[in-house]
Amino acid sequence: MFRVLDHPLIATELTRLREPSCPTSEFRQRMRRIASLMAPYVTELLETEVVECTTPLEITTGKRLVQSIVLVPIMRAGLGFLDGFLDLIPEAAVAHIGLARNEETLLPEPYYMKHPPSLAGKFVLLLDPMLATGGSAVEAVRNLREAGADRIAFACLVAAPEGLATFAEACPEIPVYAAALDRCLSERGYILPGLGDAGDRLFGTEA
């Protein structure tokens, strides 16, 4: 399942993110706001249970989440996408996964992974601003599955059709949520029109 979250507030924030004149500090703030705006959509199918709730006036019933949530940013750009989700889901655990490209095979390889002792039965939300070729996302899912994750969703800012096709073929059961589906990949693997290198723009490391 793939869903573009076509919301006026998300679109407005993303438009400014695309502009080269958006400085690092503003880029971080706007990415955080987009993540917060996406959070209700990404979590809308989570199961709840009915619980007793005591108000100042009487006893009633309310709802409470059943599943624990684990947020998993793919380093490093995924870190900029994390805080916006934590703003709305402060009780979530946070795992980290770092991937680097093997210069011989050109495939992503994990160099760091830290997660709760058990991921089984938890809602694991993988975070990465850009779904370009799809290779990193697929490798991240493979590692999460090996760690016991059995319910995974993926959230990104911008997706390319090529990366979406690669991910859907490898992980057909995992829903993907994006703020936008862009036109294509460039010869260098950048999303077009895209917004440049999200990691560099987040951390001020542009050349």
Q: Residue 104's CB: how many other CB atoms inside 10 A?
A: 6
Q: Where are the alpha helices (DSSP H) in 114-181?
A: 135-146, 161-170
User: CA-to-CA distance for 200 and 47, rounded, in angstroms?
Assistant: 37
The C-alpha torsion from 1 through 194 and 73 to 125, rounded to 10°, is: -20
Q: Is residue 200 among the annotated active site residues? A: yes
Q: Residue 45's CB: how many other CB atoms inside 10 A?
A: 9
Q: Is residue 87 among the annotated active site residues? A: no
Q: Is residue 172 within 8 Å of 194, Cβ to Cβ?
A: no
Closest among 132, 157, 125 to 10, alpha carbons compared:
157
Of residues 101, 150, 183, 205, which has the active-site annotation? 101
User: CA-to-CA distance for 78 and 83, rounded, in angstroms?
Assistant: 10
Q: Is residue 182 among the annotated active site residues? A: no
Catalytically annotated residues: 101, 105, 197, 200
